[in-house]
């Protein structure tokens, strides 16, 4: 595991981002249920995604499907105080809980979670982003998110069951595949 990702996982424990009845299971390397059929991804999956994403201090990052807010906090640790992280979550109850967890585990002034705008994927009004993390399974690579990537931007997301890394360089988009994973579906509208 990449050293910077391991430091983030050590600095931002999973337990405070889980429902209170599941916090004792935070050490388990498996997805844990949240409300509304959503999950908090297993640590090894989160680690693999963060390594592929290659987040650096000062980056602007979009966290799509922020869920419990754990990945948003991890990203905030990785970007540092001069970076920016916005988590978007379609389920209002989860978005509010994620922001509370961020507030309780922070301070993370460079990070926040909000309810996604209906009919809008991502946060185009805040683009471009250096990195985009998508924690839900897309059927195809969403063009709306590619448009939100800045020059040399990287997006990591599961497409079907394949973890996919998308890098935008100039007008070109380079796509690589990195193993099989299972996620909840991405809601794009």
Q: What is the pLDDT of residues 139-155, one digit of tens each?
A: 999 999 999 999 999 99
Rounded CA-CA distance 13/7 in Å is 11
What is the pLDDT, as a whole number, of residue 188? 66
How big is the chain, counted in residues?
189
Q: How confident is the model at residue 63 (pLDDT cuts 50, 70, 90)?
A: very high
DSSP state of 171: T
Say what the pTM is: 0.93
Q: Round the average pLDDT of the chain to a whole number and report it.
A: 91
DSSP for 100-163 reads HHHHHH---TTEEEEEPPTT--S-GGG--EEEEEE-SBBSS--HHHHTTEEEEEEEEEEETTEE
Q: Point out the catalytic residue in the list 35, 41, 44, 101.
A: 41
What is the pLDDT, as a whole number, of residue 185? 72
101 is catalytic: no
Percent of the chain with pLDDT over 70: 97
Q: Which residues contact 143 (CB under 8 A, 6 or more apart)?
A: none
What is the pLDDT, as a whole number, of residue 84? 97
What is the pLDDT, as a whole number, of residue 80? 96
**Nearest CA to 130 among 86, 175, 91?**
86
Per-residue pLDDT reduced to its tens digit, 21-51? 889 999 988 887 787 777 778 899 999 999 9
Q: Is the pLDDT reported for residue 125 higher than 80?
A: yes
What is the pLDDT, as a whole number, of residue 189? 57
Main-chain phi, psi angles of 97, to 5 degrees: -65, -40
What is the pLDDT, as a whole number, of residue 182? 78
Query: Hey, what's the torsion of the CAs at 68, 72, 78, 80, to 10 degrees?
Result: -120
DSSP state of 189: -
Higher confidence at residue 19 or residue 167? 167
Estimate the crossing angle of helix 70-79 against helix 3-11, to 10 degrees: 120
């Amino acid at each position: 595991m990449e050293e910077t990702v391991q430091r983030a996982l050590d600095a931002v424990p999973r337990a405070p981002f889980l429902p209170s009845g599941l916090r004792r299971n935070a050490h388990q390397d498996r997805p844990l249920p949240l409300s509304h059929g959503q999950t908090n991804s297993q640590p090894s999956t989160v680690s693999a995604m963060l390594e592929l994403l290659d987040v650096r201090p000062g980056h602007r990052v979009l966290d799509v499907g922020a869920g419990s807010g754990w990945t948003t906090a991890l990203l905030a640790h990785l970007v540092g105080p001069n970076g920016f992280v916005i988590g978007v979550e379609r389920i209002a109850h989860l978005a509010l809980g994620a922001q509370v967890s961020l507030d309780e585990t922070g301070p993370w002034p460079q990070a926040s979670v909000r309810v996604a705008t209906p009919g809008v994927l991502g946060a185009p009004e805040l683009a471009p982003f250096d990195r985009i993390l998508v924690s839900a399974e897309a059927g195809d690579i969403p063009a709306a998110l590619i448009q939100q990537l800045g020059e040399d931007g990287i997006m990591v997301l599961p497409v079907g069951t394949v973890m996919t890394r998308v890098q935008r360089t100039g007008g070109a988009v380079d796509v690589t595949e990195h193993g099989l994973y299972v996620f909840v579906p991405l809601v794009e509208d």
